[in-house]
Structure 1
Amino acid sequence: MNELTENLNSSHRKKEFSCGKDMLDNYLHKQANQDIKRKLSACFVLNDQETDLLKGYYTLANNSLDQKIIPAEFQKKLPNSYKSIPTTLLGRLAIDNRFQKKGVGKLLLIDALRRSYEISKSIGSFAVVVDPIDEDAERFYNKYGFIKLPDSGKMFLPMNTIKTLFE
């Protein structure tokens, strides 16, 4: 399968990336490489072939959720012996200002979900979890079927739902 994104590396022009949200820009500019080296997260970028600019990026990491915060209709399918449920964290997803409103966010989300699903075949992961940075981000994830977790601000999409996209 032809990969849409690639791992962030030193050849990428990170400093020119700007999505309009300082927290996401600063992460890419200053912290992403350290997180990768420390194995805290993996960062995937979409490079524009014509301009060599980064269109966007996302990060993935292992995560877990307390079983108590998972909605009842999903909890009943989980064994009681698991107090903590393994998940995949889609930690950050950002699109450079020059490429916003062109479907890049949807492409990156699908790429992240595909990677997460493939990983879940080797390492247990019940769902992909996001922690939206603001209401715009929450609306974006809501549009793609993510379910709000009560009292946490986080949202999740069960791996069984993601599986239907790729099989």
Structure 2
Amino acid sequence: MSFIKSKSTTANQPLDLGLLRVIPLASKACLERFDCGDGDINSLASKAHKWMERNRARIFTAHEGEAVWGLGFYSLSIMVEDKRKIATPQAQAYDFGAPLIYIDAIGVRSPYQRQGIGRMLLIDALKRAHSVSKNVAVYGVALRSLNERTTKFYKDHGFGEIKDDGQCPLMVVPIWTLQDLFEAPPPTGTG
């Protein structure tokens, strides 16, 4: 799969996450031949450019330096979830359901998995959601977890599992959690 390797990185070398940048999807070529091992996410990657054109979602891709090939991506959209599912007093305040920034998918090309790119993409998505929440009222950020491993990953990053009838569990992190995280004053030194 040499088509996704940049000049400075091969799939066998660890990536320097400091060299990665996350940008809005620039072209179809960014996610060409994308394969993360999950058919649904691969399918979304193949449709990502159309989703952007049709204003269905915003897609962001991770690149090493100036490389064209995206090593991973995520997709953001908006959804409204039945406030009874969320069952918190804050969710009940919404008349028509709880508005959520929805992470449609996060995917990393198979040769680059388990190097921190997924975590970097998730944090970038949460920062963007936090930024949106300063201008648009939302309850939080939601996604559907694919399996037990990803459920644990999302729980480790502040998401709670919402019991519903979906095959993949709905997971939500309230927006005030992101406010606490991203608006907290920097720690002061002792001494």
Query: Does TM, scored on the shorter chain, surpass 0.5?
Result: yes
Q: Aligned equivalents of 1:65 and 1:82: distance in 2?
A: 11
Give the 5 Å matches for 1:4-153.
4-10=21-27, 12-29=29-46, 31-49=47-65, 52-71=68-87, 75-78=88-91, 80=93, 82-152=95-165, 153=169
Matching residue's letter, 2:34: F
Structure 2 CA distance, aligned partners of 1:7 and 1:22? Answer: 22
C-alpha contact (below 8 Å) 1:17/1:53 kept by paired residues: no
CA–CA distance in 2 between the matches of 1:151 and 1:11? 35
Greater shift in the superposed pair: 134-143 or 121-130: 134-143
- Shift in Å, 1:84: 0.7
Q: CA deviation at 1:119?
A: 0.5
Distance 2:33 2:50 in 1: 19
CA RMSD of aligned residues (A): 2.0
**Of the two, which has the highest radius of gyration?**
2
Distance 2:159 2:94 in 1: 26
Taking the aligned partners of 1:159 and 1:85, their CA distance within structure 2 comes to: 12
Relative to the length of structure 2, the TM-score reads 0.77
**2:175 equivalent in structure 1:** 159
Q: TM-score, normalised by structure 1?
A: 0.87
Counting matched residue pairs gives: 161
Report the Cα offset of residue 134 of structure 1: 2.4
Write the distance in 1 (CA, Å) between the matches of 2:149 and 2:126: 19
In the TM superposition, what is the alpha-carbon distance from 1:46 to its structure 2 partner?
0.6
C-alpha deviation, 1:136, in angstroms: 2.4
How far apart are residue 52 of structure 1 and its match? 4.0
CA contact (8 A) 2:83 2:94 kept: no
2-structure distance, mates of 1:58, 1:102: 16
Structure 1: where are the runs of 5+ without partners?
Answer: none
Cα distance change of structure 1 residues 11 and 76 upon mapping to structure 2, 3 Å threshold:
closer
Change (3 A) 1:160 1:52: same
Output the CA distance in 2 between the equivalents of 1:35 and 1:53: 19
Could you give the per-residue CA deviations for residues 51-97 of structure 1, whole angstroms, max 9, x where no partner exists? Answer: 543121000001111110013xxx22345562411110011001111
1:82-141 CA distance string (max 9 Å, x none) = 241111001100111122111111111110000000011111111000111222222221
User: How far apart in 2 are the matches of 1:70 and 1:98?
Assistant: 36
Identity of aligned pairs, percent?
25
How many Å apart are 1:155 and its aligned residue? 0.6
| Code of the aligned partner of 2:139 | F
